[in-house]
A and B are shown apart, each in its own frame.
Chain A
Amino acid sequence: MAEIVVLGAGISGHTAALHLRRLLGRTHRVTVVSPNSKWNWIPSNIWVGVGRMTTDDVVFPLAPVYRRKGIDFHQAKAVAIWPQGDADDPRGAVDVEYTGPDEHGRTARLRYDYLINATGPRLRFEATEGLGPDDGRTVSVCTAGHATQAATALDAVIAELRQGRKQTLVIGTGHGTCTCEGAAFEYTFNVDHELREAGVRDLARVVYLSNEAALGDFGVDGMVFEQSGFQTTSELWTGSLFRERGVEAILGAHVSRVTPDAIEYEILDGSTHTLAYDFAMLLPPFGGQPIKAYDASGTDITADLFAPSGFMKVDADYTVKPYEEWRASDWPSTYAAPGYDNLWAVGIAFAPPHQISKPQKTPNGTVIAPSPPRTGMPSGVMGKHVAMTIADRIKHGPDAKAHEASMATMGAACVASAGAGLTRGSAAAMTMLPVVPDHQRYPTGRDLRETRGELGLHGHWVKLMLHYLFLYKARALPGWFLIPE
C-alpha cells in the first residue's frame, strides 16, 4: 500500500487528491492536510466582495466530500517536511499541527511515500505598513471572509455617496511585487458597476493603483491580440474599458505605507505621492507558507528545498539571468523537487524561475516587479498531472515517465468580471496560449488564434458557468472528472 499525502486543499491540491482517488484503488491511502475545513472557489470572492454573493455561495465543507471519496482528511497545517525521513524511519515525513476546534495545537508526524505540496500563497500583508484587513486599514478579497468585510466597507461608502458626500475608492496592488492584478482589475469594474447600479457613480472617484508598468499587463507581460485583421494589445483594449467607465489608472506603483487617510506610493520614475482614500482594496504580495525542511539527521535544509520567497523549488531553471535571456524552457514541467522523485509542488506553491513581466527598479532602488500569476486553470492542470505521475509510478514502477504540464505550453482562460447580472453583467474574457510567452515559437510570444480578449455579457455568463461547474466538480459529484481543470 502506498501513502500519498497532499498538503493543501485549494484548487491544485484538491484536484490532485480527487484524481489520485479516482486513479488508484482503495488499497492506497490518499491523505489531505489543510488548515481550513472548507473549500473556497476563490475567483467568485470578487462577487462576495461587492455583496452579490455570500460566503456560503463560494465555500463548502471538505470533510463530507473526503469521507464519501475515501480520502483521509487532517484539518492541520504542515510545518516541516523530512524528505529523507528521520532517525526512526527512512520514509519521508511531514510534521503537521492541527487547527480544527477539537484538536487545536496537537502535532503529529505523517509518513509518506509520495508528497504533493499545494499550500498556495501566504498573504504577506505585513510587507506594507497599514495594509490588510486585520492589522491594517485596507480590505482584501483574497479569502471569502475578507471579501465579506470588503462588501460591508463598500456598503458604507455607498451610504456616504447616497448622502451626497464624494468618496475616493482605490483598488489595486498593495506592494511593488504583487501578483493577481487580474483580480484587482475585476474588483475595480465590479465596484464601478455596483456604484452605477446604486446611482451614485458620479460622486465617486475610482482609481486603479497597480504595480503593472502598463495597463493590460496582468503580470504576464501583456498580450497581443488579432482583431479585424489588425494586431492590437491588451493595453489598448484595457485602456478603452478604463476610459469608457471613467476609471483612473496609476501604474508602476509600489505602495509603501497606508495611513488612516492616505496611501503613500512611489512610481517607476522615483517620484513619491500620496492618495487620499475613503475605501481601499489592495491585494497583498504573496509568499510561500512557512514550512521548514530537515534532513534525516535533523539538519535544517529549508534553503535547499525552498526559494527565499518560501515557494518550493522544482524542475525549473533558476539561473539568474536578464529579462532578455529568459526562455519559455526555464519554466518547470513536472514540478518534481530537485533530488527527490516522490516530492512535488504545484499551483502557487512552486517557485517560478523568474517573473513574466519585465521587472523594474525606480531610481531609488525600489523594486516594482509584478510576480507571475499562477491562475486557477494551470494550477488545476498541474495538480492533475502530478496525480497521474504518481498513479503511473505506483502502478507501473518508479521509472514511469512523469507527466508534463508547463505554463510555457499550456493555456489559460481568464475571465475578469466587470459587473454582475444575467442581462446587465459584463466581463473581459481572455484566453492566452501559452501563459508564459514563447518568443522562439511565436512572433508575438503567443498563439494568435487562441490569444483573444473580448468584452461583453457573454463573459459574465462564462464566469457564472465556471462558478457552478467548478463547485460541482470540487464537490466530486457524479461525472466530476469529465469537467476539465
Chain B
Amino acid sequence: MPELQMHEPSPGADPVVDLSGAPLPTKQTLNGRQSLLTQFGKFIAFDARIMRMVVKGNKAH
C-alpha cells in the first residue's frame, strides 16, 4: 500500500503526491552526503557490497 497520499484531484489541478509526510534531511545529513571523507568510506562500502553480491549470485547456482 502506498504510504504517501495523492492530493484529492480538484478540478483542473494535477493529482500530485502529497510529500509533506516525507522526511526532510537535516543539514548534517546533507553535509554528510557531500563530505569527501564520509563519502569515500561509503564508496568503498558500496563497492564491497556489489562484489559480495556478485559472489553470492554466482554461488546461488
Q: Do A and B interact with each other, yes or no?
A: yes
Residues of A within 8 A of B (CB): 207, 213-215, 233, 235-236, 239-240, 242-244, 248-251, 267, 269, 271, 273, 275, 333, 381, 385, 403-406, 409-413, 423-424, 426, 429, 431, 433, 450, 452, 454-459, 461-462, 465, 484-485
Residue of A nearest to B38 (CB): A456
Q: In the complex, which of the residues A215, A409, A412, A429 contacts B60, with contact meaning CB atoms closer than 8 Å? A: A409
Bound form: Cα–Cα A450–B46 in Å:
10
17 chain-A/chain-B pairs, Cβ below 8 angstroms:
A214-B2, A235-B3, A239-B21, A249-B17, A250-B16, A251-B17, A269-B9, A273-B9, A406-B60, A413-B46, A423-B34, A431-B53, A433-B53, A456-B33, A458-B39, A458-B46, A484-B54
Is A249 in contact with B16, judged by CB distance below 8 angstroms?
Answer: yes
Q: Mark interface residues in B18-29 (1 if CB within 8 Å of A CB, else 0).
A: 011111110000
Interface band, chain B? 35 or more
Which residues of chain A come closer than 8 Å to B6, judged between CB atoms?
Answer: 251, 267
Residue of B nearest to A432 (CB): B53
Bound form: Cα–Cα A364–B46 in Å:
44
B24 to chain A, nearest CB (A): 6
Tell me the B31-56 residues at the A interface (CB within 8 Å): 32-36, 38-40, 42-43, 46-47, 49-54, 56
Is A243 in contact with B50, judged by CB distance below 8 angstroms?
Answer: no
Is B33 in contact with A457, judged by CB distance below 8 angstroms?
Answer: yes
Which residues of chain B come closer than 8 Å to A214, judged between CB atoms?
Answer: 2-4
Q: In the complex, which of the residues B14, B16, B39, B50 contacts A456, with contact meaning CB atoms closer than 8 Å? A: B39
Q: In the complex, which of the residues B25, B47, B60 contacts A240, with contact meaning CB atoms closer than 8 Å? A: B25
Is B52 in contact with A215, judged by CB distance below 8 angstroms?
Answer: no
Is A454 in contact with B14, judged by CB distance below 8 angstroms?
Answer: no
Given known contacts A273-B15, A458-B39, A243 and B22 CB-to-CB distance under 8 angstroms: yes
Residues of B within 8 A of A (CB): 2-4, 6, 9, 14-17, 19-25, 32-36, 38-40, 42-43, 46-47, 49-54, 56-57, 60-61
Which residues of chain A come closer than 8 Å to B38, judged between CB atoms?
Answer: 456
Is B50 in contact with A267, judged by CB distance below 8 angstroms?
Answer: no
Q: In the complex, which of the residues B4, B34, B35, B56 contacts A411, with contact meaning CB atoms closer than 8 Å? A: B56
Is A423 in contact with B36, judged by CB distance below 8 angstroms?
Answer: yes
Is B19 in contact with A243, judged by CB distance below 8 angstroms?
Answer: yes
B48 to chain A, nearest CB (A): 11
Which residues of chain B come closer than 8 Å to A385, judged between CB atoms?
Answer: 61
Bound form: Cα–Cα A485–B32 in Å:
30
Is B17 in contact with A215, judged by CB distance below 8 angstroms?
Answer: yes
B55 to chain A, nearest CB (A): 9
Residue of A nearest to B47 (CB): A462
A392 to chain B, nearest CB (A): 13
Q: In the complex, which of the residues A235, A267, A452, A457 contacts B15, with contact meaning CB atoms closer than 8 Å? A: A267
A190 to chain B, nearest CB (A): 16
Is A413 in contact with B61, judged by CB distance below 8 angstroms?
Answer: no
Bound form: Cα–Cα A429–B47 in Å:
11
Which residues of chain A come closer than 8 Å to B19, judged between CB atoms?
Answer: 239, 242-243, 249
Residue of A nearest to B4 (CB): A239
Contacts A214-B2, A250-B15 aside, 20 further interface pairs with beta carbons under 8 A come to A214-B4, A215-B4, A239-B17, A239-B22, A240-B22, A240-B24, A243-B20, A249-B16, A333-B61, A411-B56, A411-B57, A426-B33, A431-B46, A431-B49, A431-B50, A456-B33, A457-B33, A457-B35, A458-B39, A462-B43
Q: In the complex, which of the residues B3, B36, B60 contacts A457, with contact meaning CB atoms closer than 8 Å? A: B36
Given known contacts A240-B24, A243-B22, A431-B50, A404 and B61 CB-to-CB distance under 8 angstroms: yes
Q: In the complex, which of the residues A244, A267, A411 contacts B25, with contact meaning CB atoms closer than 8 Å? A: A244
Q: In the complex, which of the residues B20, B39, B61 contacts A403, with contact meaning CB atoms closer than 8 Å? A: B61
B47 to chain A, nearest CB (A): 7
